[in-house]
Amino acid sequence: MLMDSPLGGIRVEALAADQAEQAIELARRLGLVDSGEAGFALQLTAHGLQLVELGPKAPGPIRVDFVEGAVAHRRAFGGGSGQMIAKAIGVAPGIRPSVLDATAGFGRDAFVLACLGCDVTLCERHPVIAALLVDGLVRARQVPDVAAVMARMVFMEGDAIQVMGDWKGEPPQVIHLDPMFPHRDKSALVKKEMRLFRPLVGDDQDAPLLLEAALDLASHRVVVKRARKAPCIEGPKPGYSLDGKSSRYDIYPRKRLGA
């Protein structure tokens, strides 16, 4: 069951006999077809859905996990409202903005913001990444320790530009964008994820349109994550930026966030 990709496709695998029907249904829902050579496998396991690159020197599988591992460590020891993303979003005493994470990916930034008390809507357009994200959200909602955090996270699958254009109801106060760019973070985790992400997702060539749609919708500010030395997204210039070691946040303020 394969999906076209630069590395030859994605194969759906059930690692247990009782998951065979689930694998068939997942392949049907994602539009995967039985043809060609697979470069990746989307695997159903007892611990959740995972994506793995195939080949002798490929890294291990990637799975969305909001309960254990790096995300859990960041939740416990990440620095709270002192984190750079929290400052960029506008988290402050008495201020917890509503956020649309329009390029949610594996949901790590959204989870950090939800841990800090923000209501976060996650949007992801790539169907395989979305499937992994939804699987992680479903599993985490069954864990009492993070249930309250997960209740602040709502998922919407679809192209963010269209989602924002069709938005109904109260607009998000803040929209967070993290378009694909050449990451310079040297951690093994980021390198491993980028090796899987980039062939599947590619660069976000429509980033200027994404920014335009976000500026049209957000009521208070748009926040764009970029590589520290990368140019701003084509379009209006940010009001100011917050710089970190390997990345920065470009801030497009619209009006002041209040308690």
248 labelled as ligand-binding? no
53 labelled as ligand-binding? no
109 labelled as ligand-binding? yes
**Structural tokens at position 9:** 């496709």
DSSP the chain: -B---TTS-EEEEESSGGGHHHHHHHHHHHT-BS-S--SEEEEEETTEEEEEE-STT----B---SSSHHHHHHHHHS-GGGSHHHHHHT-BTTB---EEETT-TTSHHHHHHHHTT--EEEEE--HHHHHHHHHHHHHHTT-HHHHHHHTTEEEEES-HHHHHHT--SSPPSEEEE----------HHHHHHHHHHHHHH---TTHHHHHHHHHHH-SSEEEEEEETTSPPPSSSPPSEEEE-SSEEEEEEE-S----
Asked whether 5 and 200 are in contact (CB, 8 A), the reply is yes
d(C-alpha 35, C-alpha 240), whole Å: 49
- How distant, in Å, are the alpha carbons of 26, 47, 126, 146, 164 from that of 138? 15, 12, 18, 12, 24
198 labelled as ligand-binding? no
Binding-site annotation, residues for S-adenosyl-L-methionine: 108-109, 124-125, 178
Binding-site annotation, residues: 108-109, 124-125, 178
